[in-house]
Amino acid sequence: MPAIQAADIADLVTGTLQDLGERKWTDLTTDLQNFFVLPQLIKKGAVMFRSGYGLRRNIMIDKNGNVSWVGLYNEDVVSQADYMQTMDVPFRHMTANWALDEHEVSMNSGPRQLVDLLEEREQACLAAIAENLEGKFFNEVDDTTVDPWGLPHWVVKNNTEGFNGGNPTGYSNVGGFTHARWKNYTGQYTAVDKLSLIPMMRKAAYKTNFKSPVQMPSYSTGDQRRYLTNYAVSAEMESILESQNDNLGNSVNSKDGMVMFQRRPLEVVSYLDDDTTNPVYGINMGTFKTVILKGWNLKRKTKSTYERQHNVAVTFYDLSCNWYTTNRRDHFVLALNTGGV
C-alpha cells in the first residue's frame, strides 16, 4: 500500500490551512549579494544636503612663484597671477513609483491578509531603486544629459602607471574643469600576488596621500580611505593571507573576509563581480562625496494621478543627487588590461 500524506486527504486539505508565515517573505529580487550605495552612501551622516541648481567648488591650481634668495639691498621683483579655478557639478534626478487600486486595499485586510500589500510593493520599489543606484555608481555614464556621475566618471582606468586617469568616455573634461594635475592614479597589474598587485597598491596608496605643507581651508573631511574590489580579487587575497600564516587551526577558510590593507578592510562589492578587469579602487571618502538636493532625498509622495483610474493611488519616490570629488588625486584604480583611456 502506498504511503498516504496529508496532502492526499481531501477533507484535511479543504478544512485546514498550512502554516502561512504571515507578514514575512523571502527576498529574491536581485542577483547582487550586497549593496554599497543605498545603505552606505545615501544615508544620514554620509551625504551633504545643498540647495541651488548644482555645486561649484574652488580649486587652487598653482603656488606663488615669487620666491628667491637675495643679497642685501636687492630690489624686489613683484608679480601676481591667478591661482583659482572652479569645477561644477549639476544635480541629477531619479524617479520611481508603484501603484495600488483601492479595491486591493479592501481585499488585503482583516484576517484574510497574509502579507501587507502596501509594504510588499513599496519594498519591491525600494529594492529596484537600490539596484539602480548601484549600477549608476559603479558603471560608466550611459546618458551624459541625465545620468549621475558615478565612480568611473571621477576615477578613470588607464593601463599606464601614474596619474593618468583622464577624461571618461564621452567627456572633454571632468566637472567642467581641465588641468594636468586633475587626474586620478592608475596602473595595470598582471596578477593578484606579492610581486604585482600588492606592491602596486602600496605605491598607489602612497602616491595619493597628499598633505598640504601649510594650513589651508579645505573641503576634505580627513583621511577616510576605503579599498573596494570584487570577489575574484578578494578570494586571491585571502589565499595569500592564509599562505603566510602557520597557525590557522582547523578552519579551511580561516581568513575569509579578513583581508586588510593599511589597517583597513578590503571590501567586496558584488556589482564589481562582472567587471573582468578585476579593479581595485582606493577611494578617500574624505574628498569623495554624495550631494543631495535639500528636500529630495527619496522624497515620497502619494496621490491619485489618472482621471480614468480614479481608484488608483500612485506612490512616487524622487531623488535629486550626484557624486563628486574635490580632489581626483586622492583616489586610485588598478586593474588588469583596460585597453587604455
Here the CATH number for the domain that contains residue 230 is: 3.90.1690
Instruction: Quote the pLDDT of residue 130.
Output: 94
Are 155 and 281 a contacting pair, CB within 8 Å? yes
Element (H, E) at 282: strand 280-284
- 200 three-state secondary structure: helix
Instruction: Quote the pLDDT of residue 340.
Output: 47
Give the sign of the dihedral formed by CA 99, CA 101, CA 102, CA 108.
negative
Residue 279 lies in a domain: yes
Residue 88 lies in a domain: yes
Instruction: Quote the pLDDT of residue 21.
Output: 62
Residue 321 lies in a domain: yes
Instruction: Give me the half-sphere count of Cα atoms (radius 13 Å) on the Cβ side of residue 102.
Output: 8
Total domains present in the chain: 1
Range of the domain at 270: 37-59+82-246+254-335
Can you give the pTM of this predicted structure? 0.87
Residue 30 lies in a domain: no
Instruction: Quote the pLDDT of residue 241.
Output: 86
Residue 144 lies in a domain: yes
For the chain, where are the alpha helices, taking DSSP H only?
Answer: 10-15, 37-40, 102-107, 117-138, 151-154, 197-207, 231-243
Catalogue the long-range contacts made by 238-245 (C-beta closer than 8 Å, 24 or more residues apart).
240/192, 240/193, 240/194, 240/198
d(CA 155, CA 62): 22
Kindly give the confidence (pLDDT) of every residue in the chain, 341 residues in length, as a single tens digit, with 9 standing for 90 and above. 678 776 765 655 666 555 556 667 677 778 888 988 988 888 777 787 888 888 889 888 887 778 888 889 988 888 877 778 888 999 999 999 988 887 777 776 666 666 677 778 888 899 999 999 999 999 988 888 899 999 999 999 999 999 999 999 889 999 989 999 999 999 999 999 999 999 999 999 999 998 888 787 777 888 899 999 999 999 999 999 888 766 665 555 656 677 899 999 999 999 999 999 999 999 999 999 999 999 999 999 988 766 788 888 888 999 999 999 999 999 999 999 886 44
Element (H, E) at 290: strand 288-293
